[in-house]
Amino acid sequence: MSLEIYLDNSATTRVHPRVAEVMMRCFTEQYGNPSSLHTMGAGAERSLEEAREVVARYLGVSPSEVYFTSGGTEGNNMVLRGGCAARRSWGRHLITTAVEHPSVLRTCQALEEEGWEVTYLPVDRQGRIDPEDLGRALREDTALVSVMMVNNEVGSLQPVEAIGEILKGRTGRRPLFHVDAVQAVGKLPLRPSDWGVDALTASGHKFHGPKGVGFLYLRQGVEVSPLMTGGEQERGLRPGTENVPGAVGLARALELSLEEFDARAVAALRDLLVSSVLEGAPDAVWNGYPEGAPHIANISFPGVSGEMMVHHLAEAGVYVSTGSACSSRKPTSHVLEAMGLEEELLQGALRFSLSAETTEADVRRAAAVVVEVYRELKELFGRG
């Protein structure tokens, strides 16, 4: 079957051909080490700094507040581990949500083993936390608050601005406010400095950039101990020869994403997908809401297993996932569990994630295939 519709863009995206093009130049022509003093090195450093400026402009921050990392997981580990390490003289408590990415949740668990206390804020049926819960959870010794901008499994948006307001109003020691924006960058406008966000993390490969590179915004003056030690690269916060092709590719992908990702158009495609699926499969349930992230739709198909759906859909040329690729070996989603979904809806959940490359024809065909596969599987295994 020649039909191939890739709707797993929250797992990873295809690198934009124009991104690959600029990276190829870095590989074979402008391959210098930015730390080298000669012309080749200076050229590489210039490319790296131009990439940093692109990211800074998008966020409305200073380039000196942008650090390149090896990806979202490293960025999240840097902020959580490094933020806690820098505050251990007074802090021993952190606050996050029950629906964070494993790179945040597992780091929190590791910190718990080291003596930190962690409050996991609950979410409603739509996957959103209540800012008032956060206000109540805050303590004198709260060192860090980490809340994701867009949930990677269901697309729920967290009230980042409202949280920033609550934290701004605090007197005395203010906890570091971290936002995992991996699923938001290139898709939504982000203004961390206006929102009171101290640290924000992102990954290149979620918006048609390369794997193996990401960035961290860290507000000037906010202290974070480095996760790794070595050379003085990235102002001493992130050692190791800079991944120049990666950073250049990420910046180009970000520029292209801002040109090509039309949030309203993608949301319309998402709505078309959801309504077409629900029309053909009236017992399916959308685990989302219209104002959520435009590119993610999580739908539960009661009576079948999501994993089996993934395999059958792949055979039919439609590529989706059951949830996060990073925890795809786990039977059910911690996000959907936190949202209080019933067992049947947990088992049969699928994530569809769109990108600027997704077309209306893709969505219509995918929806038809999904409805068909669901019907077949229910007849085979379901209660009929």
Partner 1 sequence: MRKVYLDHSATTPVRSEVAELVLRYMTDTFGNPSSVHGFGREARKGVEEARERVASLINADPREIVFTSGGTEADNLAIKGVALANRKKGRHIITSAIEHHAVLHTCEFLEKEGYEVTVLGVDSAGLVSPDDLKAALRDDTILVSIMMANNEMGAIQPIKELAAIARERGVYFHTDAVQAVGQVKVDVEELGVDLLSLSAHKIYGPKGVGALYVRRGTKIKPIAHGGGHERRMRAGTENVPGIVGLGLAAKLAQEELEDRRRHLLKLRDKLIEGILDRVEDVRLNGPREERLPNNVNISFAYVEGESILLNLDLQGIAASSGSACTSGSLEPSHVLLAMGISHELAHGSVRMSLGTGNSEEDIDYVLEVLPSIIERLRSMSPLVGGRGEEKLQHVQR
Active site residue ranges: 326
Interaction residues for partner 1, span 187-216 (CB under 8 A): 203, 205, 210-213
Q: Among 168-176, 192-200, 233-241, 279-287, which window interacts with partner 1 (CB under 8 A)? A: 233-241
Nearest distance in Å: CB 346, partner 1: 17
Interaction residues for partner 1, span 43-82 (CB under 8 A): 70-74, 76-77, 81
Q: Does 282 bind partner 1 (CB under 8 A)?
A: no
Interaction residues for partner 1, span 120-179 (CB under 8 A): none
Q: Among 86-94, 222-230, 335-343, 363-371, which window interacts with partner 1 (CB under 8 A)? A: 222-230
Say if residues 335 and 156 touch (Cβ distance below 8 Å).
no
Interior CA angle at 129 toward 118 and 121, to 5°? 15
Distance CA 15, CA 250 (A): 10
Interaction residues for partner 1, span 319-358 (CB under 8 A): 319-322, 324-329
Q: Among 4-12, 134-142, 143-151, 335-343, which window interacts with partner 1 (CB under 8 A)? A: 4-12
Nearer Cβ to partner 1 (6/217):
6
Q: Does 241 bind partner 1 (CB under 8 A)?
A: yes
Q: Among 225-233, 287-295, 334-342, 355-363, which window interacts with partner 1 (CB under 8 A)? A: 225-233
Say if residues 12 and 206 touch (Cβ distance below 8 Å).
yes
Say if residues 92 and 245 touch (Cβ distance below 8 Å).
no
Calculated CA dihedral for residues 278, 282, 288, 289, nearest 10 degrees: 80
**Residue labelled with tokens 């029950």:** 98
DSSP conformation letters of 294-361: TTEEEEE-TTS-HHHHHHHHHHTTEE-BSS-GGGTTSSS-HHHHHTT--HHHHHTEEEEE--TT--HH
Distance CA 349, CA 347 (A): 6
Q: Does 118 bind partner 1 (CB under 8 A)?
A: no
Q: Does 307 bind partner 1 (CB under 8 A)?
A: yes
Say if residues 115 and 143 touch (Cβ distance below 8 Å).
no
Q: Among 3, 24, 291, 337, indicate the residue that binds partner 1 (CB under 8 A).
A: 24
